[in-house]
């Protein structure tokens, strides 16, 4: 009798864990990925909206006029977002066509202070001047 009870307990625990794993997988799979929507707001501005974005995340919007030629047309920061911002307004710029992407800002370093804008782990840019060491002021 103890052997049967032991097997039923093991079976119940195994089935319970399996159901928990399936429920977690269904929850994760049912979440919709963020979507970038671009719409004109006037003659020279665009409204970029991130739907299904994560509310406690900072997004930055990057743009390029041509895909596949990163040497001649690298991705450039168009708008630096703030925490929770999902709506961005920006000027169209010199190109009549272009591509946009939203990038999650992982280090909270503003684009203009980044040591390497393409490498979030590089941190803040720091410049040290070792010369002139005579106390002269550089302009």
pLDDT per position as a tens digit, 104-134: 877 667 666 777 766 767 777 777 766 666 6
Mean per-residue pLDDT, 80-92? 88
Q: pLDDT digit string (tens) for 14-46?
A: 766 666 676 666 665 556 778 888 998 887 889
* Collapsed DSSP state (helix, strand, coil) of residue 39: strand
- Tell me the percentage of the chain whose pLDDT exceeds 70: 66
Residue 137 lies in a domain: no
Q: Is the same domain home to 66 and 18?
A: no
Of 24 and 98, the structure prediction assigns the larger pLDDT to 98
Q: Is the same domain home to 110 and 61?
A: yes
Residue 136 lies in a domain: no
- Structural domain harbouring 8: 1-31
Report the alpha-carbon distance of residue 97 to residue 76 in Å, rounded: 15
User: In the prediction, which pLDDT does 87 show?
Assistant: 92
Q: Taking a C-beta distance cutoff of 8 angstroms, is the pair 48, 91 a contact?
A: no
Q: Structurally, how many domains does the chain consist of?
A: 2
Q: Taking a C-beta distance cutoff of 8 angstroms, is the pair 87, 53 a contact?
A: no
Q: What is the DSSP letter of 121?
A: G
Six-digit token pair at 7?
Answer: 């097997």
Q: pLDDT digit string (tens) for 40-73?
A: 888 788 999 998 888 788 888 888 898 988 888 8
- Which secondary structure element, helix H or strand E, spans residue 8, and what is its range? helix 2-30
Q: Taking a C-beta distance cutoff of 8 angstroms, is the pair 50, 36 a contact?
A: yes
Residue 135 lies in a domain: no
Q: Is the same domain home to 18 and 78?
A: no
The residue assigned the tokens 């782990």 is 121
Residue 43 lies in a domain: yes
Report the alpha-carbon distance of residue 25 to residue 21 in Å, rounded: 6
């Amino acid at each position: 009798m103890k052997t049967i009870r032991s097997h039923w307990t093991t079976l119940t625990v195994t089935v319970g864990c399996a159901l928990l794993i399936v429920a977690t997988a269904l929850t994760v799979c049912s979440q919709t990925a963020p979507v970038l929507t671009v719409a004109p707001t006037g003659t020279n501005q665009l409204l970029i909206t991130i739907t299904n974005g994560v509310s406690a995340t900072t997004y930055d919007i990057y743009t390029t006029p041509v895909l596949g030629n990163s040497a001649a047309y690298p991705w450039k920061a168009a708008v630096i977002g703030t925490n929770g911002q999902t709506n961005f307004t920006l000027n169209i710029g010199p190109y009549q066509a272009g591509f946009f992407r939203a990038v999650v800002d992982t280090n909270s370093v503003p684009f203009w202070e980044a040591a390497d804008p393409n490498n979030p782990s590089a941190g803040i840019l720091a410049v040290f001047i070792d010369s002139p060491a005579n106390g002269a002021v550089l302009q």
